[in-house]
Amino acid sequence: MRQIVLDTETTGLNPRSGDRIIEIGCVELINRRLTGNNFHSYINPERDSEEGALAVHGLTTEFLSDKPKFAEVADALRVYVANADIIIHNAPFDVGFLDAEFARLQVPRFRNHVGEVVDTLVRAKEMHPGKRNSLDALCDRYGVSNAHRALHGALLDAELLAEVYLAMTRGQNSLGMDLGDAPATVDAAGAAAQLMELGAIRVLVADTVELLAHEATLKSLDNEVKGKSVWRAALDD
């Protein structure tokens, strides 16, 4: 499974008013592992950044003046992301800017070139309702170090988001077993059956100390939500 974590920096907030992309950063995940096959480019937007945006990314018009224009990197970007699933924090923002840049080149919209677009902001809000879900907040929540992030940068933010995404989705594959090269047969219904011998299952029962620690954790969760946590409710059921 090939996934690309993508981030952009822009001259402002609205591509419809002429704001442009000034930096694109992408990192590649294959089977949930970082490969080091990154894509990064600064881009000459042919206009100044708005004051608020400049304070965020620090990329001056002078610095960007000798960088390639979007048209010069568009083909390489399309080849890099082709058919991959794309992971973005607040996807409508970045995809809107990419669509606007592609439209200037009379190229089909960004989603036409890729697989699924995963919005980690939407997922974070579902997982942590009522909490702050900015990239910085998620880094804090999942223990991803962002101490070196003085200013926003597309490649750095994509790298941080990749670590956050892996932490957010850790365990999602636990329902499916990775059986490597174990032989498979197909039954009459066409379903694949893995042939492997299972050993005896060992059951470990929690001791008194572990049970007390578990109860203390449940109480702390109850205190945090000022009521009965979902874990407590599940036990009561």
Q: Using an 8 Å Cβ cutoff, are 35 and 28 in contact?
A: yes
Cα–Cα distances in Å, from 167 out to 26, 105, 143, 144? 18, 37, 9, 9
Helix pair angle (154-168, 135-142), 10° resolution: 50
- Torsions phi, psi of 44, nearest 5? -80, 110
Distances (CA, A) of 151 to 16, 36, 155: 25, 22, 12
Dihedrals phi, psi of 9, to nearest 5 degrees: -120, 150
Known catalytic residues?
Answer: 152
Contacts of 45 (CB under 8 A, 6+ apart): 10, 11, 20, 21, 22, 64, 70
The rounded radius of gyration (Å) of the Cα atoms in the chain is 23
